[in-house]
Amino acid sequence: MFRNLVIAPLLVCLLTHAAYAQSWATKMFQTTTHDFGTVARAAKSDYVFEIQNIFKETVHISGVRASCGCAIPSVVKPTLATWEKGGILVEFNTRAFLGQRKATITVTIDQPYYTEVQLTITGFIRGDIVIDPGTVKFDGIEQGDEATQTVNVSYAGRTDWQIVDVRSANQNLIVEPTEMQRANGRVDYQLKVHLRPDAPSGYFNDQMVLVTNDYQQQQIPLRVEGHVVAPLSVSPSTLNLGVIQPGQSITRKLVVKGKKPFRVTDIKCGDANFAFEPTDEEKVLHIIPITFTAGAEPAQISQEITVETDLNGGSTGAVLATATVRDLES
């Protein structure tokens, strides 16, 4: 009897401690569940559980594991200082598994205190539809160039199955579906995915939706990702001039680079305290001195500098220049 009375409070204490240990870590996650919905076999499908360290102590994620091979987890950033963001990337293994799937992802944290957080993913992998390749990729496409990728969609089942529409929120993508074969319960489509030449530079990661006449499972997601490379690069992207005394001048250099020789036609800035010394030479690499002369009054400076060129009919690049004007003795 006495032993039971001693053990009972101890168990309550341990359970309370365990619940608290998970609760403080769970607060760092925006969500702990994700449903992939219905996806085709071999289609790329992944999700990032975002995490932000909201505590004063540094947080370290020591490991991550899944209860099922249908989920392949990895840590985006193991160490997070205060307010830093990271994530747990979970890939839905659509090549090796079919049907309804559910997995628990266990995230192990060993700093500042040991704890575990459990995440849950669910989804349905269709075995009657195969997409090859599972992701549409546009890698290293120069801005101004049109690019096309081909995707094959195979369906086994209903003889009247059709792709009736393809939808995408990315207006820079144009899709042309073509029926290639329909025989013996199999239907094959070929998708021509075009990237418009006026697509903006930078990385993109979007999702197209194949709409079919299968009203039970009408929509099939398809990942589209890529990188459009600007013909002109300006570095550094942010020019931090630091703390400058009133009346003092400071000179830094911008590096402007293109794929082929070009001329700098103009440099624009809304602050007359910035001066530039471009050359009229036609070359692939331009190094441009930039001089800033501080005014008489303390100020916080933040100005965009735009470099105009004759590359590809007028490509431009921009850099943000920042500075603090104040007396160093104050």
Query: 247-256: per-residue pLDDT in tens?
Result: 999 999 999 9
pTM of the shown model: 0.65
Q: Is the dihedral of CA 130, 131, 132, 135 positive or negative?
A: negative
Closest CA to 276 of 297, 252, 294, 240: 252
* Average pLDDT, integer, range 178-189: 92
CA 51 – CA 172 distance, rounded (Å): 31
pLDDT tens track for 210-228: 999 988 888 999 999 999 9
CA 253 – CA 272 distance, rounded (Å): 18
Cα dihedral 138/142/144/146 (nearest 10): -30
Residue type, 41: R
Cα dihedral 166/169/173/178 (nearest 10): 0
Same fold, 133-229 and 232-325: yes
CA distances from 79 to 26, 56, 233 (A): 16, 13, 31
Decide which of 237 and 47 is more confident.
47
**HEC letters along 58-105:** CEEEEEEEECCCCEEEEECCCEECCCCEEEEEEEECCCCCCEEEEEEE
Q: For the purposes of burial, counting CB atoms within 10 Å of the CB of 170, is it exposed (0-12), middle (13-18) or buried (19 or more)?
A: middle
- Domain 232-325: CATH superfamily is Immunoglobulins (2.60.40.10)
61 within 8 A of 25, measured Cβ to Cβ: no
CA distances from 231 to 147, 207, 304, 309 (A): 15, 26, 20, 11
pLDDT tens track for 118-158: 999 999 998 899 999 999 999 989 888 889 999 999 999 88
Structure confidence at residue 21 as a pLDDT band (50, 70, 90): low
The domain limits of the chain are 2-37+44-123, 133-229, 232-325
* Average pLDDT, integer, range 152-177: 92
Q: What is the CATH number of domain 133-229?
A: 2.60.40.10
Least confident of 13-27, 201-215, 285-299: 13-27
Fold that domain 2-37+44-123 belongs to in CATH: Immunoglobulin-like (2.60.40)
Closest CA to 62 of 15, 122, 106: 106
